[in-house]
Structure 1
């Protein structure tokens, strides 16, 4: 059957659809040599194998009839010895271009779907994606084969699910019950495991900490996309919120390992997640202070209202530890939030913070412990956080004005607005033109938006490096000016959306 399927690609009607006696099954020795192939010859051909012959084979449990024909497209004449010709199989078509019918269209769609469903790449494709979502971003080939086989056979390890091709239940059973999914030793392999999707982390934390609606309200999560980078029905593509083959820069990418979910691991999304969960811990689920609750009653989010508990709360966390001892509290949180995978050093840090905060109240201490768990590596990944045997180098001395090699990235979320042209202003020596005068004129003069020169702190740049050799910084940013002059700060200008199109030469 495999040889027939490899050679013949044009379908034929079943022989019984022809007139009585038009076709008969060939029973000669050559025709009977393959038990999984039935050959029917036309009576008019006197039993000979010709273009009217029909082959019957079974594909995935269904009978398939194939004509003894080939349709080949040839490009090039081949008349001269130097002529190069190319040949390829003519793509099959069910639709009659001269007399198209709805039935033919349905048959062609069915044929296409069957082709895709039974394509040899389909099972491994589904297998790998299921494993990546549930177990590991980089499954071994044997793991993929194990799941793909369950998908195509509809059974796994003696348990029959549907027994048919395309069984997602059997495939998922193989994903979760495979030895590669359950071997604890693989938790120590940095190539195994996954970075968890932000939305899954939100759901996990809220369920584990017993989020319960207040006053029987329906819980509503809002502005998730802006906070964590994911929100139901708001994926920018049909695939997902991230690319399934994404390889992050650094050691993982250099090792050709994939970590699809880490495409969402941006400073904005990570800090948005931590801020949203911290707000839920401290205030309950609401729209206040970076919360992801309903924006109804958002105007009642002032400090005084929050302090008095007058802000609108959709739901609250109801979890309470079973024990009172610090070690028991941290251990229970470890089971609920990290499946007991928290390493001993992180446990000690959280326990110490819990003990330190306990005098201010047990609830406050629990809040601190929860927030630290949310910041732990074990909460964000499904593998273990393996401690390296070598101690980290000591932190550099951060005192002084620089020159010590210490660097840090500080991310500021500006909830208001910042007028960049009143932060950094062209001042003097501007490419032969008075750009300050232009700035002042465009802004309506110093009586409106423009800032007077005597209200600007002057800074110098290297000649030719910028349009101006001297700029002015808003006087309220004197500390930024000091850092710039010390070589510890820089301005990045001309970023963001363009007001008008520019060419490369103009830029």
Structure 2
């Protein structure tokens, strides 16, 4: 329930429903949790016998299962599934219902719950557009979640389109508002760099490793969140800040610390040029190499691809000036040319216009 409907009852615009005393109304009870848990009994990782003890980790003397199971849904063992009746959130799964049918009933009930549309819609807006969407924006998207125009509920293609094409997302006013946008989380920055600059693995192994270190990594790594509630809370408020004073939230700031800010720069300083795994995983910078002799053109390309041309004139001038010394010529070594390219990428990826996405 925490992941689909939230803790408290919501109106269609994401605002909290309250009782006569102004206290938020709970969205579920302990009985709901207990009964819904029955539906999910019997499910386990789909690790097949032929896949066990087939892989020897590098430098190890033991074997483990292959990772094929990570690409498959969990498997149901019928004998381990509870066939007791389960009543939750106004829905009842009759006693004796097979596990797969019980799961469908439960998922349908969660999708149909009145909280799901505003709860999911607001968090998707936070991830894709802005941390503090207006209630009207949330409601417009929630309405599409409830009905895509063809009577279908939960059509995610229509929901995503509604989020990205909404006037609040596309209006130029957001570019000038300090209250609009959101911090790009570290892993998103990393993936953007990898895709933009042509990261590739010569051996095809893609050994990048754990990037969770806050001192010399991203402070974030896939599938390594510190709890089941992920890396940060959608309602996180940085304490003693202007954001808090305005009654706003900034979810991604929950993983921003003095250490992580410096660690991010340290991380870029190493991987932009040296990559990973003894330079097996490195960026090609093919398009950037074509512009290396022209720092202004190089910065313009990076500003377009990384910041959607939102780099301020002052920031652009600072970066171009920094790249101009030492001079790079056609006869410069490849190492010198690479230094200019990676310095340009680092400076763009460290500037405020990039770190805050609008």
Above 0.5 in TM-score? yes
Unaligned runs of 5+ in 1: 1-90, 287-293, 295-311, 384-507
CA distance in 2 between counterparts of 1:211 and 1:106 reads 41
Partner residue, 1:225: 212
The one of 299, 310, 318 equivalent to 2:284 is 318
Q: Does 1:344 align with 2:313?
A: yes
The one of 236, 240, 253 equivalent to 1:246 is 236
Partner residue, 2:34: none
* Deviations, residues 199-258 of structure 1 (Å, cap 9, x unaligned): 0011111221222223x3322221211222221221222221111110112000111111
Partner residue, 1:488: none
Partner residue, 2:122: 128
Q: CA deviation at 1:133?
A: 0.6
* Deviations, residues 104-126 of structure 1 (Å, cap 9, x unaligned): 99988766544432222211001
Q: CA deviation at 1:193?
A: 0.5
Partner residue, 2:265: 274
Q: CA deviation at 1:339?
A: 1.5
C-alpha contact (below 8 Å) 1:358/1:364 kept by paired residues: no
Partner residue, 2:44: none
CA distance in 2 between counterparts of 1:92 and 1:178 reads 33
Structure 1 103/327 Cα, relative in aligned 2: closer, same or farther at 3 Å? Answer: closer
* Deviations, residues 320-340 of structure 1 (Å, cap 9, x unaligned): 434443321211111122111
CA distance in 2 between counterparts of 1:111 and 1:212 reads 43
**Which protein has the bigger strand share?**
1
Instruction: Report matched runs for 1:154-193 at 5 Å.
Output: 154-155=148-149, 160=150, 163-193=151-181
CA distance in 2 between counterparts of 1:143 and 1:328 reads 38
In structure 2, the residue corresponding to 1:217 is in which secondary structure? Answer: coil
Partner residue, 1:382: 357
CA distance in 1 between counterparts of 2:340 and 2:350 reads 16
TM-score by length of 1: 0.47
Q: Does 1:329 align with 2:298?
A: yes
**Which protein has the bigger helix share?**
2
C-alpha contact (below 8 Å) 1:246/1:260 kept by paired residues: yes
In structure 2, the residue corresponding to 1:240 is in which secondary structure? Answer: coil
Q: CA deviation at 1:143?
A: 0.9
Partner residue, 1:200: 188
Q: Does 1:369 align with 2:344?
A: yes
C-alpha contact (below 8 Å) 1:94/1:105 kept by paired residues: no
CA distance in 2 between counterparts of 1:110 and 1:245 reads 30
Structure 1 341/111 Cα, relative in aligned 2: closer, same or farther at 3 Å? Answer: same
Structure 1 351/109 Cα, relative in aligned 2: closer, same or farther at 3 Å? Answer: closer
* Deviations, residues 369-425 of structure 1 (Å, cap 9, x unaligned): 222112211121113xxxxxxxxxxxxxxxxxxxxxxxxxxxxxxxxxxxxxxxxxx
CA distance in 1 between counterparts of 2:198 and 2:100 reads 50
In structure 2, the residue corresponding to 1:224 is in which secondary structure? Answer: coil
C-alpha contact (below 8 Å) 1:357/1:364 kept by paired residues: no
In structure 2, the residue corresponding to 1:280 is in which secondary structure? Answer: helix
Structure 1 353/107 Cα, relative in aligned 2: closer, same or farther at 3 Å? Answer: closer
In structure 1, the residue corresponding to 2:182 is in which secondary structure? Answer: coil
C-alpha contact (below 8 Å) 1:152/1:165 kept by paired residues: yes
| Higher RCO structure (Cα 8 Å, ≥6 apart) | 2
RMSD: 2.5
In structure 2, the residue corresponding to 1:212 is in which secondary structure? Answer: strand
Structure 1 207/328 Cα, relative in aligned 2: closer, same or farther at 3 Å? Answer: same
Structure 1 94/213 Cα, relative in aligned 2: closer, same or farther at 3 Å? Answer: closer
Structure 1 186/314 Cα, relative in aligned 2: closer, same or farther at 3 Å? Answer: same
Larger Rg: 1
In structure 2, the residue corresponding to 1:143 is in which secondary structure? Answer: helix
Structure 1 108/279 Cα, relative in aligned 2: closer, same or farther at 3 Å? Answer: closer
Q: 203-212 or 344-353, which moves further after superposition?
A: 203-212
Number of residue pairs matched by the alignment: 257
CA distance in 1 between counterparts of 2:92 and 2:342 reads 66
Q: Does 1:144 align with 2:147?
A: no
C-alpha contact (below 8 Å) 1:127/1:144 kept by paired residues: yes
Structure 1 205/114 Cα, relative in aligned 2: closer, same or farther at 3 Å? Answer: closer
CA distance in 1 between counterparts of 2:252 and 2:91 reads 40
C-alpha contact (below 8 Å) 1:334/1:342 kept by paired residues: yes
Structure 1 246/179 Cα, relative in aligned 2: closer, same or farther at 3 Å? Answer: same
C-alpha contact (below 8 Å) 1:151/1:167 kept by paired residues: yes
